[in-house]
Amino acid sequence: MSDDAKTDQYARQAAGWSDAAYADGDAYLAHRAALVASLGVGLARGDEVLDLACGDGGLGEHLLARGLRYTGVDSERAMVAAARERLAGRARVELGDLNTFEPDRPVAATTVFRAIYYTDDRAAFFRRAATFTERKLVFDLNPRQYRVDDVLDELTTAGFGRVELRPFFVPQTKRLPLTAIGVLQALERSGPLARIALRMRFTYLVGAVRG
Ligand SMILES: C[S@@+](CC[C@H](N)C(=O)[O-])C[C@H]1O[C@@H](n2cnc3c(N)ncnc32)[C@H](O)[C@@H]1O
């Protein structure tokens, strides 16, 4: 997709992005937020999360609810406007490109969801993120699209010395009863079974810890 087509697509979808993109946005984004707070190394109340390619800030709602501070950044003006409206007065949201954006002070955690493919040079992005990320970088990764070992090597080289990979099985486009979500979340921790499921569907959440 060309940059112009991508911009048009996200501009058109900005209002109500999270409601349209996730069949059960609350369940999906609450689980993602729980893992942002816990994966690799825990975050504490008051820690700041920088969410690059934040969309309409749907994740921000769930991180703020955990007592974390939130800054969202997106390259699409309409997404920034939607996120500012959603999070009014509770978070900063800025227009910026994840390939060049640098916060004015270091953050505890940086996140990139459904957007790691927008890095111009993924290894260079990891190295830059390490300069302003004090504790961890969290992002999602489709193991059928990327070689996980390549990504792990790039993270190590960038200074993220320990990486936790967590299968993420809450579906994006299907609303399930709570009991089924509970079963899927248990399956995320099932080791070999989870890895078999990942050959066909779903993604990893990657928690890459500094040092
Ligand atoms: C698939 S959406 C994901 C939004 C949100 N992170 C989520 O998980 O729901 C991709 C987002 O990346 C943004 N985006 C695309 N390229 C970008 C770039 N180079 N820098 C910052 N944001 C970008 C788009 O505007 C869009 O909001």
Write the pLDDT tens digit of every residue in 137-190: 999 999 999 999 999 999 999 999 999 999 999 899 999 888 989 989 989 988
Give residue-wise pLDDT tens across range 107-137. Answer: 999 999 999 999 999 999 999 999 999 999 9
Residue 7: pLDDT over 90: no
Q: Residue 117 has what DSSP assignment?
A: G
The residue whose CB lies within 8 Å of the most ligand 1 atoms, and thus the one to mutate among 76, 102, 142, 173, is: 76
Which residue of 114, 128, 139, 173 sits with most ligand 1 atoms within 8 Å of its CB, as the best mutation to test the pocket?
114
Q: How deeply is 113 buried, as exposed, middle or buried, from its count of CB atoms within 10 A (0-12, 13-18, 19+)?
A: buried
Boundaries of every domain in the chain: 3-19+26-209
The model's pTM: 0.95
Which H or E run includes 29? helix 25-38
Distance from residue 48's CA to the centre of ligand 1 (Å):
19
CA-proximal residue: ligand 1, atom 26 (nearest): 55
**For position 8, what pLDDT does the model report?**
85
Residue 103 has pLDDT above 90, yes or no: yes
Is pLDDT at 1 greater than 80 in this prediction?
A: no
Residues contacting residue 38 through CB under 8 Å, at least 6 positions apart = none
CA–CA distance, 21 with 10 (Å, rounded to integer): 11
pLDDT at position 72 over 90: yes
- For 3-19+26-209, CATH number out of 3.40.50.150, 2.40.110.10, 3.40.50.10070, 3.40.50.1820 equals 3.40.50.150
Q: How far is the CA of 52 from the centre of ligand 1 (A)?
A: 7
Cα 20 to averaged position of ligand 1 atoms, centre (Å): 15
Return the best residue to mutate from 29, 79, 112 for the ligand 1 pocket (most ligand atoms within 8 A of CB): 79
What pLDDT was estimated at residue 32? 98
Phi, psi of 206 (to 5 degrees): -105, 125
How confident is residue 199, by pLDDT bands cut at 50, 70 and 90?
very high
Angle at 42 between CA 39 and CA 109, to 5 degrees: 80
* DSSP H or E segment with residue 122: helix 122-132
Which residue do the tokens 């699209």 mark? 145
Q: In angstroms, rounded to a whole number, what is the distance separating the alpha carbons of residues 156 and 127? A: 10
Q: Ligand 1 pocket, 99 CB below 6 A? A: yes
CA distance 103 to 90: 17
